[in-house]
Structure 1
Amino acid sequence: MGRERGGSSGRRRPATSSGGPISLTGRGGIVVMFGAGVVCGLLSRWFGVPLLAGGGFAAGCALAAFATRPADLLTLVVSPPLVFLAATFTVVLATALGDGSLLRAVTVGVLTALASTAPWLFFGTVLVVVICLARGLRTNVRELRDKLAGVRLFEKEENENPVRWDESPATTRERRLHHGDVD
């Protein structure tokens, strides 16, 4: 009865915290980096352009750093090395299928790919850190440090005096016997 028609429906589109039209979670940013690394790595192997693998990963890192919401920047900053390894392993595994020895092809392929694209991994990681620092990473680190300090203080209070006596000092004085008295 009390509903107004034609007004707002009560559902509002959530505002993004980054101010842009797209805001990814930390996991979404990791998926963007992984996807860019795999797609560009496959294209690099198929077309024989080694720069494409590293450049694509760095571009994916930059895109993820700009599109991830500020609350999840800490998650994003620590993930490029592991994402790079996973993307490289995926690309090498996909291109090594059908070769003679899969184990040998994957081992040699991953080590070779990591050695040849290591500067791109470093560049992508630094790029993510610089962009995230400009977007508010220091706030996330400060909040994490405060949470960890609060946890340590709580544990210190809890374990401050691990020995608890059930008897009060007054009852222990009454129970003390003289050295000559026997119980």
Structure 2
Amino acid sequence: MFGAGVVFGLLARWLGMPVLAGAGFAAGCALAAFATRPADLLTLVVSPPLVFLGSTVAVEFATALGGGPLLRGLAVGVLATLASTAPWLFFGTLLVVVICLARGLMTNVRELRDKLAGVRLFEKEENENPVRWDESPTVTQDRPRLHHGEVD
């Protein structure tokens, strides 16, 4: 996804076709969803927004190097690109979710839920028994009761 986002983002800037960046990212999302191992589908489903942001920053950094203040060019470029290609981000994320659901994402979710439930079964509750009825405080007869200022 990152590679497709950077390559197609640079091509879109150089050719003056902004739609190319979004379409390339969506194609990278589909390719990643088909090429990922079934055990890693859960991780893949949550990663498109972060990968999209990273590829956008990388493209804007590469194109802002030669012209004027770098920080201003990078900030303006990233915000403008994110605003103009946001629908492609949503489409790419939806595409990944749909493809991963068809490839067995729900199995991964069930396995994770079962692992988390299994971990909770073997943890000891901290507040399991906050009141101990069998441990009543007793004062021994041979030890005198101390005043609150004379505590050992």
Scaled to the shorter chain, the TM-score interval is 0.7 to 0.9
Matching residue within 98, 104, 107 for 2:72: 104
Alignment equivalent of 2:126, drawn from 139, 159, 177: 159
- In the alignment, does 2:45 pair up with 1:54? no
Q: For residues 158 and 177 of structure 1, do their structure 2 counterparts lie closer, same or farther at Cα, with a shift above 3 Å needed? A: closer
Structure 1 Cα separation of the partners of residues 72 and 14 of structure 2: 20
Question: In structure 1, how many angstroms separate the alpha carbons of the residues matched to 2:15 and 2:100?
Answer: 33
Q: Distance in 1 between matches of 2:120 and 2:52?
A: 34
| Distance apart, 1:152 and its partner CA | 2.2
Return the offset for 1:132.
Answer: 0.1
SS at match of 1:141: helix
Q: Secondary structure at the match of 1:84?
A: helix
Separation in 2, partners of 1:42, 1:103? 19
Higher relative contact order (CA 8 A, sep 6+): 2
Match of 2:4 in 1: 36
The structural deviation recorded for 1:160 is 4.8
Does residue 1:124 correspond to 2:98, yes or no?
no
> Residues 66-85 of structure 1 correspond to what in structure 2 (within 5 A)?
66-85=34-53
Identity %: 73
Give the Å deviation of 1:57: 0.1
Q: Name the amino acid aligned to 1:122.
A: F
Scaled by the length of structure 1, the TM-score of the pair is 0.71
Structure 1 residues 182 and 97: CA distance shift in structure 2, 3 A: same
When the two structures are superposed, what TM-score results if normalisation uses the length of structure 2? 0.85
Q: Corresponding residue for 1:142?
A: 110
Give the residue type in structure 2 aligned to 1:151. Answer: V
Spell out, residue by residue over 1:63-99, the C-alpha distance to the aligned partner (whole angstroms, 9 max, x if none): 0000111000001000000000000000000000011
Structure 1 Cα separation of the partners of residues 36 and 125 of structure 2: 38
Per-residue deviation, 1:150? 1.8
